[in-house]
Amino acid sequence: LLAFSLTYYFGVRIGFAFTLSANAVSLLWPPNAILLAALLLCPPRAWGWLLIAALPAHLISELSAGVPLLMASCWYLSNLSEALLGAAIMRGVLGGTPRFDRVRDATVYLLACVLAAPVLTSFLDAAFVALVGWRYDGDYWAVFSMRAISNALAALIVPPLAITLLQVPYSVLGRAQRALQVEAAVLIAALIFVCVAVF
């Protein structure tokens, strides 16, 4: 729980690093994806503990960045709702943690966690921003679309990587053919290069 809480905290800090000063919404928001990955990796009976562990990390990181308490609290609720919705759909359809080497699991994940959960909860998030008014420019749909895209991008990147790394034993990675190891290293380097170039 402590490792998860620290990861969530740094996810918020990374999200703020990708937030333009005049906007309420980040270009990339990893905390929801980090929480989603944790929920998908843990049995539902442990979900309450994860939600509790996320709260202090969320509040400390957001309040220290100058976010008002009401806005931080509202964002905590929208973050939880996105992660819980995605995890609940995945559990309901697959019955467990997805495996990204299966087409069915990857398809359900894309539909539930990359499309449905970010889009549906962005209505709530944009409403919170409009209600509180913090860094709100009066354009509900701009906040909605920016939040949906940034959270979908994070859901596309973070949970599949985290889940795959935790599901695959390191001994398997060590036994992988040299060509596969080189391919993985090149893909990771390319992703880092593109992110640095774009952001």
> What is the residue type of 131?
L
**Is residue 173 pLDDT above 60, yes or no?**
no
Does 77 or 192 have the greater pLDDT score? 77
pLDDT-derived band at 169 (thresholds 50, 70, 90) equals: low
Q: 70-75: which pairs have CB atoms within 8 A and are 24 or more residues apart?
A: 70/132, 71/24, 71/128, 71/129, 71/132, 71/134, 74/125, 74/128, 74/131, 74/132, 75/125, 75/128
Does 112 or 184 have the greater pLDDT score? 112
For the chain, the maximum distance between any two Cα atoms, rounded to a whole number of angstroms, is 55
Q: Contact, 28 vs 149, CB < 8 A?
A: no
**Is residue 167 pLDDT above 80, yes or no?**
no
Average pLDDT over residues 20-30: 80
Chain centre to alpha carbon of residue 184: 22
* Residues 109, 117: Cα–Cα separation, whole Å: 10
Single pTM value for the model: 0.83
pLDDT-derived band at 75 (thresholds 50, 70, 90) equals: very high
Contact partners, residue 39, CB within 8 Å, separation at least 6: 47, 50, 83, 84, 86, 87
**Is residue 170 pLDDT above 60, yes or no?**
no
pLDDT at 77: 95
- Could you give the count of Cα atoms lying within 13 Å of 139 in the half-sphere of its Cβ? 10
**Is residue 122 pLDDT above 90, yes or no?**
yes
Average pLDDT over residues 27-43: 92
Given phi > 0 = left and psi -120 to 50 = alpha, else beta, which region is 67? beta
pLDDT-derived band at 174 (thresholds 50, 70, 90) equals: low
**Is residue 199 pLDDT above 80, yes or no?**
no
Q: Is 59 helix (H, G, I), strand (E, B) or coil?
A: helix
The pLDDT > 70 percentage for the chain reads 95
pLDDT at 4: 93
Packed helices 69-94 and 47-64: angle between N→C axes, nearest 10 degrees: 150
* Residues 128, 29: Cα–Cα separation, whole Å: 16
Does 125 or 173 have the greater pLDDT score? 125
pLDDT-derived band at 37 (thresholds 50, 70, 90) equals: very high
Burial of 52 (0-12, 13-18, 19+ CB in 10 A): exposed
pLDDT at 198: 81
